[in-house]
Amino acid sequence: MSTQTPSTLRVAPDPSSPRLTRAVTGVDQTGASIDLRVVEERPLTIYLNSREIVTAMTIGDHPEWLALGFLVNQGMVRAADEVTGIDYDEELETVVVRTAVETDHEAKLARATRTSGCAIGTVFGDMMEGLEGLTLPPTPLHVRDLNALSSAINRTPSLYLEAGAIHGTCLCRGPDPLAYFEDVGRHNAVDKLAGWMRDTGTDPADKTLYTTGRLTSEMVIKCALMGVPILVSRSGFTAWGVEIARQVGLTVIGRMKGSRFVCLSGEGRVIWDAE
């Protein structure tokens, strides 16, 4: 399959970066020697002002956006909070996100919930907090755009195609990919995207979030709280994820392979216009 980076992508994976993969020698099923590249994992400790929050295992790219997006998605940095700086120390493998006013996050740290996500995702505080009264925009989803989008993402040069063992998340508008992030855990990839959206002031109202990961409750919650009305995956669903999506009016599409998919929530947004 030929690969080509879509012209609309503002942020794209960099599979050629020597920091993201390592050459490893092994043997194949016949006992013959084989060389391949495998994805790196690095610890990244995130601080909010003077408080250590979490250490995440990550591939190491876009650490500032990962840290900011993690704090935004956990509700520790809210829309009204002014971020005055993000300091990354590569040698210490730390990121410090600074806000103008000290935030109230101690209570969230006391109520950490381990999720079902890859790389042991963690949700701080009440998982459903912020969903009450949430209204997502009635953005239409054209099936013809969905088919074009799937093809564009699958042909984009990526770590997944280079080395596997990676999850991807892409923010899209209609048939166009806009920002594509990868990481060993799908939560990390989504957090990088959330950080990029916050940093660039990107409006989520007319966007679709594409992920390679499972459509679990925490993924649905993150997407809804980010304000993105449509969540798409080539993987499957969990029952609670579907239930929450229906409660908040999120369009959820999974098992997308080629032109085939299943929509289990928010089908009212779908326009069935594929040839």
pLDDT tens digits, 6-53: 999 999 999 999 999 999 999 999 999 999 999 999 999 999 999 999
Residue 115, pLDDT score: 47
CA dist 265 and 244 (Å) reads 9
CB 86 within 8 Å of CB 97: yes
In DSSP notation, 241-263 reads: HHHHHHHHT-EEEEEEETTEEEE
Identify any residues that bridge with 89 across adjacent strands, giving them in sequence order: 94
* Numbered ranges of CATH 3.10.20.10 in the chain: 42-124
Q: What is the mean pLDDT of the segment spanning 97-117?
A: 66
| Average pLDDT of the segment spanning 125-154 | 88
> Fold for domain 141-271?
Cytidine Deaminase; domain 2 (3.40.140)
**What secondary structure letter does DSSP report for 163?**
H
Indicate the CATH number of 42-124 among 3.10.20.10, 3.40.640.10, 3.40.190.10, 3.40.220.10: 3.10.20.10
Q: Tens digit of pLDDT for each residue in 87-100? A: 999 999 999 999 99
> Over 60: is that where the pLDDT of 110 sits?
no
Distance CA 41, CA 158 (A): 16
Model pLDDT for residues 155-188, shown as the tens digit of each residue? 999 999 988 889 999 999 999 999 999 999 989 9
According to the model, what pLDDT value does residue 119 have?
47
Cβ within 8 Å of residue 180, ≥6 positions away: 9, 11, 12, 13, 153, 156, 158, 168, 169, 170, 171
Amino acid identity of residue 128, one-letter, is M
DSSP bridge partners of 177: 172
Contact of 232 with 146, CB cutoff 8 Å? yes
Lowest mean pLDDT among 30-34, 52-56, 120-124, 235-239: 120-124
Q: Among 37-51, 60-74, 128-142, where is mean pLDDT lowest?
A: 128-142
Q: Give the closest residue to 180 by CA, choosing from 203, 163, 164, 196.
A: 196
**Tokens (6 digits) for 62:** 């876009």
Q: Across all residues in the chain, what is the average pLDDT?
A: 91
Q: What are the respective helix, strand and coil percentages of the chain, to the nearest 5?
A: 25, 35, 40
pLDDT at residue 193 above 90? yes
88 contacts 45 by C-beta, under 8 angstroms: no
- Which among 116, 129, 106 has a CA at the least distance from the CA of 53? 106
Helix (H) or strand (E) holding 143: helix 143-154
Distance (Å, rounded) from C-alpha 252 to C-alpha 215?
A: 8
Q: Is the pLDDT of residue 124 over 90?
A: no
pLDDT surpassing 60 at residue 114: no
pLDDT band for position 116 (50/70/90)?
Answer: very low
Q: Which pTM does this prediction carry?
A: 0.91
